[in-house]
A and B are shown apart, each in its own frame.
Chain A
Amino acid sequence: MRDAFANELLDLAKADPRVVLLSGDIGNRMFDKFKAACPGRFYNCGVAEANMTSVAAGMALSGLRPVTYTITAFNTLRCLEQIRLDVCYQNLPVVLVGVGGGLSYASLNATHHALEDIACLRMLPKMTVICPCDAWETRAAMRAALALGAPVYVRLGKKGEPTVHDRVPDFTIGKGMVLREGRDVCFIGTGTMLPTVLAAADRLGRDGMVAGVVNMHTVKPLDVALCAEVFARYPLVVSVEEHSAAGGLGGSIAEWRAGLSTPGLAPLLRIGTADDFMYVAGEQEYAREYFGLTEEHIAAQVAQALRA
């Protein structure tokens, strides 16, 4: 996903002289082409994320379209006040890109895990939150984010993720995609969990349960029209995200659903990480197992909920 981001941003910057890239001392070599093609528009801001975020806001106040890029945990919570005041309060066209969403950097310990970022950023007025599911959608998300002209947070995985799409998809901010129609349950997934969600749906299918799958790439604004259809049509809805089960996609859907008195709406099962840090070593695959974010665990939870 990060290579797709770098390549897409290069294309966008070539086409728009207002696009500037600010990096928090990561992406060595990844931006060589950008630096060569867009001289004077790449800034390594060092290990100083608060400053980087406000510098981006200052550039946006002067008419530029800055993109900040560093490890998700540091590009969100480390500089949350700068995002809140300088970017969101001033409603500026700054695109914040986090690499290593969720448990992508699991082995580096919880300092590098991003499991609260969606919750924190979607609380901010004016902010749009996008979690692309693969490299193709990363390209689409970057195009849409820069075209929006307002604060956007784009949450990436790392590299080498399985793909969901086979080309750059038709993409509209705030419009979820129905990847599969189903009957017994509908998954609403976001970001890099989508391949796992599709695999969990396959697994349920082998046991005779037909699962729908929605790709909710935009967590904010939530596609409430699509949610309304899904909750009216299916007996069970399951949100899945590589993020705390509190406050993220599932939390957002739960808030929306709690405000409705429509009879017959499906119950919501939220699948995400627990209200805890991970204190042990392990790569992303291990960490997903640790938090129950594997296709087996997800399918088992859904099967149990359907039996209940």
Chain B
Amino acid sequence: MNDLPAISRRIRRQLVTLSHEAKTPHLGSSLSCVDILTAAYWGALRIDPARPRDEARDRLVFSKGHAATTLYTALWLRGFFDDALMATYAKPGGTLPEHPSPGCAPGVEAVAGSLGHGLSLGVGMALAARIQGLPSRVYVVMSDGECDEGSVWEAALMAPAQQLETLTVIVDYNKWQATGRSSEVMSLAPLREKWAAFGWSAYEVDGHDVEALARLLSHVPDGSGKPVAIVAHTVKGKGVSFMEDDNNWHYRIPNADELARALKELE
């Protein structure tokens, strides 16, 4: 059995390092979704890093593209690509931009960067698996700010109509969007109830209980005949005390001293 909390700490160390070295923002958003990706890539997804295009694989659509470093790091540590590719992150001419672009690395399933696209892409992939008679499950990771986009709710209406029980959306509910408290910007709450009202089998969980998340993600389909929505309560900047729930870290980049302090906390 994998030590999932240790994997999450390893990912977080890489995230603060990447942000410092490449001088790229969105660190708070990247840190909040780490445990979700750890649970998915090490606990639930039926994938083989050696066969990233296998047609029967489970798929993870990473829709909150601004947190791309979390996706890249998870795929790298899971063995989808090597150190050499990881080292090109955000380098001019490299294939790993600050948002995932098409075909940028093995294991990246779809483009992201403009919010509100991933859930619809996931609906398409889940329908395709059904049409093709494949067992693939599809997991879509979204941000709470992303739920502002109308297209999310178009997809939320379609998936239950198609009884897409192999589709799961996980909302990284860190309560902040770029410039304000999510609840003050748009009326998101009660978020679990919204998904339930749209016809989803909706759960509300601690988005940092990585073991529990892994169990929940593994138990899809959950027997309800409905797509699954998981509202994962998270903390923006999770894992670094002086970044937690401080929205300055949406854009701020750690200096050398802050990096050292963060790495010490994440040992």
On A, residues with C-beta under 8 Å from B are 20, 40-41, 43, 45-46, 48, 50-51, 53-64, 66, 81-82, 85-86, 89-91
Please name the residue on chain A nearest to B120 by beta carbon.
A54
Q: Please determine whether B117 and A82 come into contact, CB atoms closer than 8 angstroms.
A: yes
Q: Please determine whether B151 and A58 come into contact, CB atoms closer than 8 angstroms.
A: no
Q: Show 19 residue pairs from A and B whose CB-CB distance is below 8 angstroms, ordered by the A residue.
A: A46-B158, A48-B151, A48-B157, A54-B117, A55-B123, A55-B158, A57-B110, A58-B127, A59-B127, A59-B128, A62-B129, A62-B132, A63-B55, A64-B132, A66-B124, A82-B151, A86-B111, A89-B111, A90-B111
Expressed in whole angstroms, the minimum distance between the Cβ of A104 and any Cβ of chain B is 26
A-B contact count (CB 8 A): 103
Within 8 A of A (CB), among B117-152: 117, 120-132, 136, 150-151
On chain A, the residues within 8 Å of B55 by CB distance are 62-63
How many angstroms between the C-alpha atoms of A90 and B113 in the bound complex? 13
Name, among A40, A50, A64, A91, the residue most crowded by chain B CB atoms within 10 Å (CB to CB).
A50
Q: Please determine whether A85 and B111 come into contact, CB atoms closer than 8 angstroms.
A: yes
Q: From B102, B136, B151, B157, give the contact of A91 (CB < 8 A).
A: B102
Name, among B122, B126, B155, the residue most crowded by chain A CB atoms within 10 Å (CB to CB).
B155
On chain B, the residues within 8 Å of A85 by CB distance are 111, 113-114, 117
On chain B, the residues within 8 Å of A56 by CB distance are 124
Asked whether A58 and B130 contact (CB < 8 A) given A48-B158, A50-B120, A89-B102, the answer is no
On chain A, the residues within 8 Å of B154 by CB distance are 46, 48, 50-51
Q: Please determine whether A59 and B124 come into contact, CB atoms closer than 8 angstroms.
A: yes
On chain B, the residues within 8 Å of A40 by CB distance are 130-131
Q: Please determine whether B121 and A45 come into contact, CB atoms closer than 8 angstroms.
A: no
How many angstroms between the C-alpha atoms of A90 and B120 in the bound complex? 15
Closest A-B pairs by Cβ, 8 of them: A58-B124, A54-B120, A62-B128, A51-B154, A48-B154, A58-B121, A55-B124, A50-B151
Expressed in whole angstroms, the minimum distance between the Cβ of B51 and any Cβ of chain A is 15
Expressed in whole angstroms, the minimum distance between the Cβ of B141 and any Cβ of chain A is 15
Q: Please determine whether A20 and B131 come into contact, CB atoms closer than 8 angstroms.
A: yes
Name, among A53, A55, A59, A64, the residue most crowded by chain B CB atoms within 10 Å (CB to CB).
A55
On chain A, the residues within 8 Å of B150 by CB distance are 50
For residue B165, CB closer than 8 A to chain A, the reply is no
Q: Please determine whether A45 and B110 come into contact, CB atoms closer than 8 angstroms.
A: no
